[in-house]
Copies of this chain bind each other. A is one copy, B any other.
Amino acid sequence: MKINILGCYAATPRTLTNPTSQVLEIKDHLFLIDCGEGTQVHLRKNKIKFSRINHIFISHLHGDHFFGLPGLISTFRLLGRDREMHIYGPKGIKEAMTLLLKLGDSWTNYQLVFHELTSKEPELIYDDDKVTVETIPLNHRVYTNGFLFKEKLAERKLNIEAVAKYKIDKAYFQNIKNGKDIELDNGSTIPNAVLTFNPAKPKSYAFCSDTSYKPAIVPQIKNVDVLYHESTFLKSEIHLVAKTKHTTATQAGLIAKAADVGTLILGHYSTRYKSIELFKEEALEVFENVELADDGKVFEFK
């Protein structure tokens, strides 16, 4: 599982700081999460193949999280895309994108499939044989969802030496990987545990931005391997969180601690501070495993 941070700063794009966008690589999928202005350029800078992106998740309809989307949709057309593109985001996103394309008398030669979100409860919005994606309802100034990405438990791994030893025909391999025991011709039974290894533990990633401090999300994100949580402010600016519905680094750390996550990645920093290290220092006071997102940074979890 790999997280490629294209942009992780709050508000307007600046010369050296990009608005929110990241690419999650999970089980051969490239999921694009949020799409601030300039995302398509940052995808290129980070050498991410446009054609591998088939699903885009938009948390909310503030500009710094989706004003790069119309340009990206247009660019996919210019690149000759023909595969469906699925876009998950708040209701209204379809009307906006469609209007912008219509005004330019433009079209897409691939199918755009919008999955508009309105529920205030967690919803399963994507499910295939390897991965699921659920919404994490957040509390921001407009309707906002985080997203919880979970790998499914993979099939068991064949112990090549063991199956050779018992001379098991490969016609049985899929059954073995599915966890079945095997009866040999001599009538004895070889337990599955002898023939297989445990598969890798499924990984999970929760993306939570933008939101005010919302402990109600803790049960849903309990024990995730990685939590990306916004921390727009330091605690010195806690007087700003109620109005802006953002979070301090301390609050992000408290969520991570309560959910007992593996790693907390902080992001969505206000550009008022002179160093993002300050966010890490603050979160470390309440939670031990803190990383700082930064534009162009890649986190890999094996």
Considering the chains assembled together, what is the distance between the CA atoms of A70 and B141 in angstroms? 19
Asked if A40 and B12 sit within 8 Å, CB to CB, the answer is yes
Residue of B nearest to A17 (CB): B41
B92 engages A96 (CB within 8 Å): no
A95 contacts the other chain (Cβ, under 8 Å)? Answer: yes
Contact A41 B13 (CB under 8 A): yes
Q: Which of B12, B71, B95, B142 touches A78 (beta carbons < 8 Å)?
A: B12
> Which of B41, B63, B68, B104 lies in contact with A142, CB distance below 8 A?
B104
Instruction: Evaluate contact between A103 and B96: CB separation under 8 angstroms.
Output: yes
What 0/1 readout, one digit per residue, does chain A (181-192) give for beta carbons within 8 Å of chain B?
000000000000
CA distance in complex: A181, B75 (Å): 63
Contact between chains at A104 and B63 (CB < 8 Å) = yes
**CA–CA, A12 to B62, complex, Å?**
22
Q: Which residue on B lies nearest to A140, using beta carbons?
A: B105
The answer to the question of A236 belonging to the interface, with a C-beta cut-off of 8 Å to chain B, is: no
CB pair B15 A45 closer than 8 Å:
yes
CA distance A70 to B68 in the complex (A): 10
